[in-house]
Structures are given as C-alpha cells and as structure tokens.
Chain A
Amino acid sequence: MKSIDCAAVVSIREVVEGHYLLTLHVPRRYLRALPGQFVMLRIHERSVPFLGRPFSIHRVYTRGKHTLMEILFRAAGAGTVACAQLKKGDTVVLTGPLGSGFHVPGRCTDMVLVAGGMGVAPLMFLAEHGAMRPRKRRRVIHCYFGARTASHLYRLARLKTLCTEVKVATDDGSLGYRGTVTDLFLMDLPQFNPNRTALFVCGPDMMFRSMALIMRGSNLSCQVSIEERMACGIGACLGCAVEDEHGIYKRVCKDGPVFDITELHW
C-alpha cells in the first residue's frame, strides 16, 4: 500500500523576492524519485490550499540518517502564497513521488537542458542525476537557462557545478544573452547531433510553444515537463487534461508530466 506522508519543514528560504526554497524531511523512498516526477503538497490541518499543489522534485539527498527533499517554488496564487508562509517545524502532507520522469535514452551522449524561470526546478534534479554517473559513462550536459532578470537565475552557481556548460539569457540583458532562452538555444541548435543528443525542456507555456515550433524543423528528441491544474494527482479526477497530437486528452499527472514534445498539440 502506498502511503500519504506527513513531512516536517526543515527550512524555508526566500531565494529571490517571491521565490522560495523549501526543504522537507521525507521518507527514504524519495531517494528513488526520478527527475521530472512531482509531489502533491498541502499544509497539514489547513484548509488553504484546499487541494494539494503539484511541485516538481528539485533535489533529494541524505544528511546523516535523514532523507531531505527540496522544492523550489514561486508564490503565484493563494495556494503557493500560503506555502510561502510555512515555518521550520510545520508539517505538510505529501503524496508522491508521482508521474513519469524524464527518460534519458541509452545511446545519448549529450543532454541539453533548456530551462525558463521556475522550470529549472526539475531540470537541475536531472542535471544532478547526470553528474552522479560514473565518470566514464558521464554525459556532456549543456544547459540553457533563461529568466526575466539576473537575480531570477536561481542557483546558477550550483547549476554550473553540475553541467558541463551553462549559457544564460535574461529578458533585460542584465546577464548573458539579452532575449529569450529559446532564441539563445536556437543559435546553437545546428551543433547538436540528433543521434546522440536528447533535449529536456521546462518553463512557461510560451517557451514550450516556441520550442514546439523549433522542433518541427529538427529531428532532435525533445521531452517537456508541463503543468496543468490538478486535483487528485493520481489519474482519477481527469482535471489535468492536455490535448495530444491526435486530439485525445491525456492526464498530465499520470500520463506525464513529462511528454515527448511531438506527442502534444501546441
């Protein structure tokens, strides 16, 4: 039987205005969580948020005997604003890990991560998995990271330690390329060999749409981790529908949240 867990807040830190890094004490099985998987989280004995909110797993690690999990989130609406007010020692209710993770094809030697804003949350977990592989089998990890402004390039230093190469873009030009991260990636696109490269994308809706357009003219394999409002998180309520290329609705929580970009209707 799967359990629904109560997890204690170990720490919560505002990394940039309105953006938080939440560290939770979780059961050991979270060590088997795959990059791209998520949890449903709500605050213990509070009615707001009424429904759990889905959050990508950002990092899982051990400290002494404890298993810790990090979530990186933005206070967007009522639910996440309530989560931002959590304090050390508070309890949250967790269901997870849920959904499918990213799949890194065996033949791939180069991973390309394209992250927009909060989209870096699951991708940094993926980079970490990549960096943990034995040196001989380690893949080259290229990362393209974009945000509104330099201060929103969360945990850039850590990202640089995990990836072979990190290129950044900001809307205001305060760091790196001035413009969108997809434009930055597009300039490098020709250098990647489709037979050996896999692409992983997470960010705002707009970014998926431009990536979908770019990918139409390319035969790189490209996986996206997408978002939709959720209620159950386990495939039962059909609330999280997303249309696939055949016009059939898929459940983001169960059939995803990671999809091949060509599988979906954009």
Chain B
Amino acid sequence: MKVDIGGLVLKNPVMTASGTFGYGEEYSSYVDLARLGAVVVKGLSLKPRRGNPPPRIMETPSGMLNAVGLENVGIHSFIETKLPFLRNYDVAVIVNILGETIGEYAALASIADAAAGIHAIEVNISCPNVAKGGIIFGADPDQVLNVTRAVRKATRLPVIMKLSPNVTDITVIARAAEEGGADAISLINTLRGMSIDIHTRTPHLCTVTGGLSGPAVKPVALRMVWEVVNAVSIPVIGIGGIMEASDALEFLIAGATAVQVGTAHYRNPRAALDVCEGIERYCVKNGIPDIRDLIGTLAAGGACRV
C-alpha cells in the first residue's frame, strides 16, 4: 500500500484533508492515527486567526457549505501545543499553511521546516482576500509560480501545492506549481457556492458565499485531478467528496498517487480508515499486489461503444 509523494513515503495512500480533521487530536479517540497514510492538519497562519462570525456552515444536497474563515491557533501555538501530541503516533504529519503575502508563506515554511515531527508542507493558495485585491491567490499562474518558488527556497521538506478549483483552466495553475519546484499537487479545495433561506430571504452563511465540499463536488474534483495528472509529471493527491473506498479508487485509477478524505469524517469519524481498508480489500480481491500498479490505469475511451 506504500506510496511516494515527492520523497515522503507513506504507508498507505489515504490522508485526512486539512480543516476537516482538526489537529488530529479531536479524532484520535475514534481512529488509530498510526494507521493513516498521513494527517494533514488545519490550515495554519503566522498569527492566530479568529475566523468568520456564525453561522459558518450549512448542509446542501449531498454536501455542505462552510465559511469557517480559516480560524486557527497560529503556527507557533500549533508547534508548541498541538504537535507534541501528534509526535506520539507513528504517522506522517503534514502542515497546511496559508499566508497573506509571499513573504508570509516563506516564513511559515521555514518555521515548519525547523520543527521536529513535520514531514511535509501543504500550501493552501486558495485563500481569498490576500495581498493585492480580492482575487484568489491560486487563480493567477504568476502568483502561484512565485509562492511555490518562495516556499521551495524556505524548506527542504516536500512541498505540496494545494489548488483551488475556482479557476478557468486548472492545468495552467498546476504547471506553474510544477515549474516553481513543487514536489506534489493536491486538489481540490472547496468550490465557491451559496445557499439562501427563502423564508427570511437571507443567505444561510454570514459571509453570503462559502466553500462547497462533500460528495456533491466529487465528479468535478475527479475531472480536475485527471486533467492535472495529464498535465504534470509530479505526484497528484486527489481530494473532493471521497466518502468510501470506491470513490478513492476512482481517483487512484484516474492517476492520483494518494487521496485525502475530508467532509466524510463528519458523517463517519472513521472515514479515512474505512476508505483505506476498503482499498486494501479491493486490491486483494483484484490481485493487485502493489497499489502503484493501480494508479493511472484508466482506459480512456474504454466506455465508448464504437
């Protein structure tokens, strides 16, 4: 079940998605963290962030909208108070970072680099409201190139660039990340969406719009992962609406080297582990000795009845 993400060898290809699994501790009484491929923690900024006012979440058909607003304890407090707990487990720890400027991203990366017990850095470039106007950082290939370069220079750890799906052509962004020196790419972050209460004629979220996640986004995520796999030569991590093993298998067949399980944890705190066990069963049943023999085996055009 082992996979290699830019030099980081994971015991299996199933990780937890940032922001959906807290700092690991919250779920540790429901699942043995050591059995996961990696734990990706909540997005961390240089200073603690307060997050958005409630209401922050709303259920939508087969998914949910969230506007948590990247509330987090800040990277220093994370290293002091949350990381020691994770070091007790034999599991790869990936920190997810978000900055408001390129300088902040670089600073975050070097702080993470200096802390013991962090195995890789995932860079969230889908954060809105960053330097220079309201555009999403990750929507501009030049910015993506610059952020990736800056983070690359600041650390020896594997760098995973996490892409936003809210762009016109994801492959352009992915290539920029590869060119900047990323070791891997993960996608997708949430899709922007909204929902309205027709009785009060107000939005359901305080911020009006929020990020959509859950099974509703899976077909979009899968399509984007497949496009990126075909556009770059670095490993790709598939994220978006993975609820069970069959969903994860689709991503692996499409060419993802690993997957992350997110919103599914809210329905089932054991979701990542269940996905992992399901992949194992599938491999045994189909005589696949090494998970790598499955990755990227999509027979394109195979469905056409010519």
Contacts and interface: CB of A to CB of B under 8 A. Distances in A.
B229 interface: no
A25 B103 CA distance: 56
Contacts of B27: 234, 236
Interface string B244-277: 0000000000000000000101111110000000
Contact of B266 (A2, A228, A232): A232
Interface in B40-57: 42, 50-57
A229 B268 CA distance: 17
Chain B CB count within 10 A is highest, among A2, A78, A247, for: A2
Interface string A78-106: 11000000000000010100000000000
A231 B42 CA distance: 15
A136 B6 CA distance: 69
A10 B214 CA distance: 31
A245 to B, nearest CB: 15
Contact of B71 (A1, A242, A249): A249
A228 B54 contact: yes
Given A4-B30, A229-B57, A242-B54, A234 B62 contact: no
Interface in A1-37: 1-2, 4
Nearest to A247: B50
A42 B268 CA distance: 10
14 contacts: A1-B29, A50-B63, A50-B267, A229-B57, A229-B58, A230-B57, A232-B269, A234-B27, A235-B22, A237-B68, A237-B266, A238-B56, A243-B53, A254-B26
Given A4-B268, A239-B66, 10 more contacts: A2-B30, A4-B269, A50-B63, A52-B266, A228-B54, A229-B57, A232-B266, A235-B22, A241-B52, A241-B56
Interface of A: 1-2, 4, 42, 47, 49-52, 78-79, 93, 95, 228-243, 247-249, 254
